[in-house]
Amino acid sequence: MHLELTAVFKPANEGGYIAFVEELPGANTQGETLEEARANLREAAELVVEANRALANEELGGADVIREPLRLTA
């Protein structure tokens, strides 16, 4: 699956970078370098998606549902 999101990196006042994904609330992090912030943000985004999937599965409680890919054009 390929999904393109927008990563935002902002220099922090005390050094390093603050980072977040515009389209994915909760996917935010920081890093001492831009490279570290990028790596941390990728991990944060993956963890948010994983957690959201787990919460959805728990909420559905084994209900009979239809799952299908959703392709977006932004």
Residue by residue, DSSP assigns 18-70 as: EEEETTSTT-EEEESSHHHHHHHHHHHHHHHHHHHHHHHHHHHTT--------
What is the tens place of the pLDDT at every residue in 33-61?
Answer: 999 999 999 999 999 999 999 999 999 99
Identify whether 18 is part of a domain: yes
> pLDDT band at 62, cuts 50/70/90?
confident
Indicate the pTM of the whole model: 0.85
Query: How far are the Cα atoms of 12, 18, 73 from residue 33, in angstroms, in the given order?
Result: 10, 10, 32
Identify whether 48 is part of a domain: yes
Question: What is the total count of domains within the chain?
Answer: 1
Identify whether 67 is part of a domain: no
> pLDDT band at 73, cuts 50/70/90?
confident
What is the domain extent for residue 24? 7-60
Identify whether 26 is part of a domain: yes
Identify whether 36 is part of a domain: yes
